[in-house]
């Protein structure tokens, strides 16, 4: 009856804080993510966090690097196109799991996973025979597309998985408001019945871009 507390709380650590932070942001969203909320989640007083993280900014930096760490690196065993495709899909998936990270992937102090990722992607392109200049271009288009798509997917996603009835009703109301926009009406009516799928959409655009790059691989 000496050491044994009633409930010995596992001690904090920056890694544990970071993991909890990612989990909380995942389920609460970035808007509702606060130091105070995180502390509560960890059963601790807000200021306790500051013994393990300098401040919220640095915490966010670390969280973003966790997202980077979940992205598959381009494999050296594959041709460059397949490797790029896999890492693009993997990036989209990571951003779907952690949609709070979408606008922040390149805006924060880069962590080790970030550096490893960028180095590997650029390496894959260079080894595939792309000139430096074209490799930069190729990297830029791909990432712009990936991040931009993630943005759109987040913004146009059906947040509430409401019933088909509700969806139809809302669609009708929307169409009413769209009276003078014939092409928006076309979208509102045809899109739902066209079997639209974000994953398919993403792959389509990615293929278009990779096709274009393939054609340019041997340019200067």
Query: Is 87 in contact with 73 (CB distance < 8 Å)?
Result: yes
Query: Is 71 in contact with 147 (CB distance < 8 Å)?
Result: no
- The contacts of residue 120 (CB under 8 Å, 6+ apart) are 73, 74
**Residue 201 engages a second copy in binding (rule: CB under 8 A):** yes
Q: Which of 14, 184, 188, 217 binds a second copy (CB under 8 A)?
A: 184
| Contact track, DNA, 49-88, x by CB under 7 A | -xxx--xxx-------------------------------
Burial class (CB in 10 A: 0-12, 13-18, 19+), 117: buried
**Residue 93 engages a second copy in binding (rule: CB under 8 A):** no
**Residue 37 engages a second copy in binding (rule: CB under 8 A):** no
Query: Rounded CA gap, 134 and 128, in Å?
Result: 11
Q: Which of 96, 187, 188, 217 binds a second copy (CB under 8 A)?
A: 187
Mark the segment that binds a second copy (CB under 8 A) among 2-10, 37-45, 63-71, 179-187: 179-187
Tell which residue, 37, 44, 34, has the closest CA to residue 13: 44
Per CB under 8 A, residues contacting a second copy are: 102-103, 106-107, 115-116, 118-120, 122-123, 126, 132-133, 136-137, 140-141, 143-149, 151-152, 154-156, 178, 181-184, 186-187, 190-191, 194, 196, 201, 204-205, 208-209, 211-213, 216
């Amino acid at each position: 009856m000496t050491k044994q507390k009633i409930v010995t709380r596992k001690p904090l650590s920056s890694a544990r804080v970071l993991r909890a932070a990612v989990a909380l942001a995942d389920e609460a969203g970035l808007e509702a993510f606060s130091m105070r909320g995180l502390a509560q989640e960890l059963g601790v007083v807000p200021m306790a966090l500051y013994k393990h993280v300098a401040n919220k900014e640095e915490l966010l930096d670390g969280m973003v690097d966790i997202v980077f760490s979940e992205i598959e690196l381009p494999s050296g065993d594959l041709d460059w196109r397949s490797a790029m495709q896999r890492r693009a899909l993997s990036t989209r998936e990571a951003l779907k799991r952690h949609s709070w990270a979408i606008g922040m992937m390149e805006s924060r102090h880069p962590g080790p996973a970030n550096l490893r990722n960028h180095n590997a992607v650029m390496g894959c392109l260079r080894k595939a025979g792309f000139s430096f200049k074209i490799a930069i271009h190729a990297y830029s288009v791909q990432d712009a597309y990936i991040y931009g798509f993630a943005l759109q997917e987040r913004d146009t996603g059906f947040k509430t998985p409401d019933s088909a009835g509700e969806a139809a009703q809302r669609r009708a109301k929307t169409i009413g408001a769209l009276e003078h926009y014939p092409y928006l009406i076309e979208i509102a009516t045809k899109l739902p019945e066209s079997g639209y799928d974000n994953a398919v959409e993403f792959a389509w655009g990615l293929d278009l871009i990779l096709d274009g790059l393939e054609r340019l691989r041997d340019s200067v």
